[in-house]
């Protein structure tokens, strides 16, 4: 809708349409009739999880000084970006995400009556919006500035770099494609980058532009003072110190692409972290996927799928096969599944757990031996477990080990629901070289931990107590041996084995004479 409805406000160009946000997860869950925790977002082109560097400790200093301005700006962040991209700090312009820099470029180059060109459409809608806000029209006839998206959103294609100048190249997905126009900044090119995608900081709103020194100075003159918050700058600096590895995302994109082809679809070749898939009825397919918990982006003749990881993408593939009424290229996921997030001031733990899994286990809370122990428990429990997180390891492993065990217990409790049909009891004996562990589990709903470890690396007992408490299970463990690592590891394996038995679905009833657990 064009402006001019409020007295004194400048009119917007005819046909101007403001940016439209995708619905919230809560809204999607309401539409799908699901719990919000069961909605998986394949529609935002963001990373499925924050990087390990995004943890409470990374912002602790900024939070302690949040009452004051970052006097002097962000020289460390400018330096770190400049070093990463092989330029000087004077070539860098900070902004609140790539969007802020697109808007900045538009208001720097465009005014009422000007024309802006957009290199290839359909593309990211903000170039058109930014030009409209500046009062300009979209036209390739002698444009004052040209916008190009490389790789392009939504196609994922890495098109030719346009010859037009001045040229703003939006490289929001640069890390996945590895090709940049940054070498052309002395030749009228401005490159826009973001921390929202590969660096997994979309909520922090940090991005930057790379430009020739005078152009960068002019953009900085026109930029809002301190468009980036101190908290966001701290997160960006922490992320730059341990940059993401995009190779797994690229490999998963190719696997997903092959599976989509096996489904008889023709996904477009992509250089980004998403694929565009032409389909006959995108709205109907999008709705069917949403009912299965998968939110994709819908276009007039296609759906766009953000790459997550194998387990999530398989969920989507199975749902897509059902929506298309074709055989699924992947195994149907088991029934007792849950996603769980435990976030405290000390730690952040994200869990995806399937009780009917195939021992596909990945535990990465940055906690060495204790991550390993949880992996053993889940593997021998026959669970599928993805546990990722980060904690205040500066204080030692205690908080992270405890919270990982609590989070796993909470996830188990949620995945068990009303515990109908389970065997309830399980036991196991596990030898490991010099060590021997016995474990018995009661999933009856009453938390209890009787645990004797002859030797202990420090936190094993505490983890069992935390797991039993949060998972509402009775746990008896007795482990002996000469090596503390072996004693604890055998104990975790034995608990996993016992759990496997107790989790088995045996009947339709509640396994208690009381009739409830």
Ligand X SMILES: Cc1ncc(COP(=O)(O)O)c(C=O)c1O
Query: Are 153 and 172 within 8 A, CB to CB?
Result: yes
Report the residue number whose CB is nearest to ligand X: 97
43 binds ligand X (CB under 6 A): no
Q: Which stretch binds ligand X (CB under 6 A): 94-102, 113-121, 346-354, 381-389?
A: 94-102
207 binds ligand X (CB under 6 A): yes
156 binds ligand X (CB under 6 A): no
Q: Is the peptide bond before 431 cis (omega within 30 degrees of 0)?
A: no
The Cα angle at residue 116 between residues 82 and 110, in degrees rounded to 5: 70
List 47, 194, 257, 367, residue binding ligand X (CB under 6 A)? 194
List 99, 313, 375, 402, residue binding ligand X (CB under 6 A)? 99
Kindly tell me which of 130 and 435 has the beta carbon lying closer to ligand X: 130
**What single-letter DSSP state applies at residue 3?**
-
Kindly tell me which of 193 and 352 has the beta carbon lying closer to ligand X: 193
**What single-letter DSSP state applies at residue 2?**
-
Q: Which stretch binds ligand X (CB under 6 A): 93-101, 352-360, 460-468, 495-503?
A: 93-101
Going by their DSSP bridges, the two strands 361-364 and 347-354 should be labelled as unpaired
Q: Which stretch binds ligand X (CB under 6 A): 92-100, 313-321, 347-355, 437-445?
A: 92-100
List 50, 98, 457, 474, residue binding ligand X (CB under 6 A)? 98
45 binds ligand X (CB under 6 A): yes
274 binds ligand X (CB under 6 A): no
* Footprint on residues 132-151 left by ligand X (CB under 6 A): 149
Query: Are 484 and 405 within 8 A, CB to CB?
Result: no
Kindly tell me which of 130 and 432 has the beta carbon lying closer to ligand X: 130
Kindly tell me which of 99 and 384 has the beta carbon lying closer to ligand X: 99
Beta bridge partners of 297: 304
* Footprint on residues 105-124 left by ligand X (CB under 6 A): 124
481 binds ligand X (CB under 6 A): no
170 binds ligand X (CB under 6 A): yes
Kindly tell me which of 228 and 294 has the beta carbon lying closer to ligand X: 228
Nearest CA among 50, 75, 72, 81 for reference residue 207: 81
403 binds ligand X (CB under 6 A): no
Kindly tell me which of 42 and 464 has the beta carbon lying closer to ligand X: 42
In degrees to the nearest 10, what's the CA dihedral of 85, 88, 91, 97?
A: 50
CB of 193 to ligand X, least distance (A): 8
- Count of residues interacting with ligand X (CB under 6 A): 13
Query: Are 50 and 325 within 8 A, CB to CB?
Result: no
CB of 105 to ligand X, least distance (A): 12
In angstroms and rounded to an integer, the radius of gyration of the C-alpha atoms of the chain is: 26
Q: Which stretch binds ligand X (CB under 6 A): 194-202, 306-314, 474-482, 483-491?
A: 194-202
> Which are the contacts of 492, defined by CB distance < 8 A and separation ≥ 6?
373, 374, 376, 377, 380, 460
Query: Are 42 and 296 within 8 A, CB to CB?
Result: yes
The Cα angle at residue 450 between residues 438 and 365, in degrees rounded to 5: 80
Cα 351 from Cα 375, distance rounded (Å): 13
Query: Are 182 and 152 within 8 A, CB to CB?
Result: no
Cα separations (Å) of 116 from 11, 49, 95, 106, 111? 18, 36, 21, 9, 10
CB of 261 to ligand X, least distance (A): 25
CB of 47 to ligand X, least distance (A): 12
97 binds ligand X (CB under 6 A): yes
Q: Using CB under 6 A, list all residues that contact ligand X.
A: 45, 97-99, 124, 149, 153, 170, 172, 194, 196, 202, 207
């Amino acid at each position: 809708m064009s402006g001019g409805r409020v007295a004194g406000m400048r009119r917007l160009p005819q046909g101007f349409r403001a940016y439209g946000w995708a619905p919230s997860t809560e809204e999607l869950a309401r539409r799908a009739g699901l719990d919000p925790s069961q909605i998986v977002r394949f529609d935002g082109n963001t990373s499925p999880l924050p990087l390990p560097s995004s943890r409470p400790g990374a912002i602790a200093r900024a939070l302690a000084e949040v009452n004051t301005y970052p006097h002097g700006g962000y020289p460390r962040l400018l330096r770190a970006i400049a070093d990463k991209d092989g330029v000087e700090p004077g070539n860098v312009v900070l902004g609140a995400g790539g969007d802020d820099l697109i808007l900045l470029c538009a208001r720097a180059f465009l005014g009422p009556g000007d024309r802006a060109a957009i290199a290839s459409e359909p593309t990211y809608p903000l170039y058109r919006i930014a030009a409209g806000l500046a009062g300009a029209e979209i036209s390739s006839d002698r444009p004052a500035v040209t916008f190009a998206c490389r790789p392009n959103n939504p196609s994922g294609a890495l098109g030719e770099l346009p010859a037009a100048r001045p040229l703003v190249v939006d490289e929001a997905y640069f890390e996945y494609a590895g090709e940049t126009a940054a070498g052309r900044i002395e030749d009228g090119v401005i490159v826009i980058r973001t921390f929202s995608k590969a660096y997994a900081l979309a909520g922090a709103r940090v991005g930057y532009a790379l430009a020739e020194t005078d152009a960068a100075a002019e953009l900085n003159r026109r930029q809002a003072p301190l468009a980036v918050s101190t908290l966001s700058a701290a997160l960006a600096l922490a992320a730059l110190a341990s940059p993401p590895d995009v190779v797994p995302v690229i490999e998963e994109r190719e696997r997903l692409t092959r599976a989509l082809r096996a489904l008889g679809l023709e996904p477009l070749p992509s250089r980004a972290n998403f694929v565009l898939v032409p389909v006959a009825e995108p709205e109907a397919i999008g709705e069917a996927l949403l009912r299965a918990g998968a939110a994709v982006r819908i276009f007039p003749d296609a759906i766009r799928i953000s790459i997550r990881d194998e387990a999530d993408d398989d969920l989507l593939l199975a749902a897509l096969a059902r929506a298309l009424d074709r055989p699924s290229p992947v195994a149907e996921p088991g029934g007792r599944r849950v996603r769980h997030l435990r976030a405290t001031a000390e730690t952040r733990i994200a869990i995806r757990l399937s009780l009917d899994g195939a021992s596909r286990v990945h535990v990465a809370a940055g906690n060495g031996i204790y991550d390993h122990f949880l992996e053993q428990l889940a593997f021998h429990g026959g669970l599928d477990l993805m546990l990722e997180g980060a904690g205040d390891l500066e204080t030692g492993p205690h908080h992270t080990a405890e919270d990982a065990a609590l989070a796993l217990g909470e996830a188990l409790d949620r995945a068990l629901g009303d515990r109908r049909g389970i065997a309830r009891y399980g036991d196991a004996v596990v030898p490991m070289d010099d060590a021997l562990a016995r474990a018995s589990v009661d999933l009856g709903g009453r938390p209890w931990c009787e645990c004797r470890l002859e030797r202990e690396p420090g936190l094993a007992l505490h983890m069992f107590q935390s797991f039993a408490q949060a998972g509402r299970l009775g746990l008896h463990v007795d482990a002996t041996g000469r090596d503390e690592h072996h004693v604890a590891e055998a104990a975790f394996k034995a608990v996993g084995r016992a759990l496997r038995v107790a989790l088995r679905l045996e009947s339709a009833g509640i396994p208690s004479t009381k009739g409830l657990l």
